[in-house]
Copies of this chain bind each other. A is one copy, B any other.
Amino acid sequence: MEAFSDGVFAIAITLLVLDLRVPDAGHLTVSQLLHAWPHYFAYVVSFLTIGIMWMNHHTILSHVTRVGRPLLVINLLLLMGVVAIPFPTTLVAENLHGGSGGPVATVTYGLVMIAISAGFAGLWIYVVTHASQVGAALPPRTLRQSIPRFTLGGAVYAAGTVVAAVGFPLAGLIIFGLLAVYYLFEHLPSPDSDTPFG
């Protein structure tokens, strides 16, 4: 399961490059290249986001020693969200240049992120509540202690989505990027720590 998931993460993160393009690049000029900045910005935010999700996914699975059908299904639903990330990334890259499309695109991005957060929370809750079944050595209080973490992450994604919805799509995207950076630099104390979502 981990090899398959790793492969899916690796491909999803690499497909982001397909969005790195300059429209009508036949006679390239510097201003054309600079004008395409939303593509680069969306690439960086999504790349860091998928990268940190991969790390946390790895951390969660490092607790698991026995994989059953329910875990495979939850994991598949989670991957269905991760694989979709290039879609709102393209929407954002093509609509961040002012106009009414920016908020619509960024809210879509936020909703996908909220769905993925829910998937990570579901995966983590399943592992903690079925610790003996999946072969994890986790005390029951781990779940209670980790609740603030995934409440915070989901809340920040929701906040960024609201900021985008009321007309500030770039600010919303910056919030999503900062959330990725926040998790990127978080130093986990040990391999058996609890990091429920990205």
Query: Please, how many angstroms separate the alpha-carbon atoms of A158 and B90 in the complex?
Result: 32
Q: Is A55 an interface residue (CB 8 A)?
A: yes
**Contacting pair B28 A105 (CB below 8 A):** yes
Chain B nearest Cβ from A41, distance in angstroms: 13
A17, chain B: closest CB distance, angstroms: 5
**Majority secondary structure of chain A interface residues (helix, strand, loop or mixed):** helix
Q: Which residues of B contact A9 (CB under 8 A)?
A: 4
By the criterion CB–CB under 8 Å, are B26 and A87 in contact? no
Which residues of A in the span 157-198 have a Cβ within 8 Å of any Cβ on B?
A: 184-188
Asked if residues A6 and B8 are in contact (CB atoms below 8 Å), the reply is no
CB of A13 within 8 Å of the partner chain: yes
A151 on interface, CB distance cutoff 8 Å:
no
Q: Hey, which chain B residues are within 8 Å of A187, CB to CB?
A: 68-70
Q: Number of contact residues on A: which range applies?
A: 35 or more
Q: Tell me if A21 counts as interface (CB < 8 A to partner B).
A: yes
Within A85-123, which residues are at the interface with B (CB < 8 Å)? 85-87, 90-91, 94-95, 99-101, 104-105, 108
CB of A137 closer than 8 Å to a CB of B: no
Question: With the chains together, A104 CA to B48 CA distance in Å?
Answer: 27
User: Which residue numbers of A lie inside 8 Å of B, CB to CB?
Assistant: 3-4, 6-18, 20-22, 25-30, 33, 43-44, 47-48, 51-52, 54-55, 68-70, 72-73, 76, 79-80, 83-87, 90-91, 94-95, 99-101, 104-105, 108, 184-188
Taken together as a complex, chains A and B put the C-alpha atoms of A11 and B21 apart, in Å, by 18
CB distance from A105 to the nearest CB of B (A): 5
Q: Is the CB of B12 within 8 A of A14?
A: yes
B95 touches A28 (CB 8 A): yes
Tell me whether A4 and B54 are in contact (CB under 8 A): yes
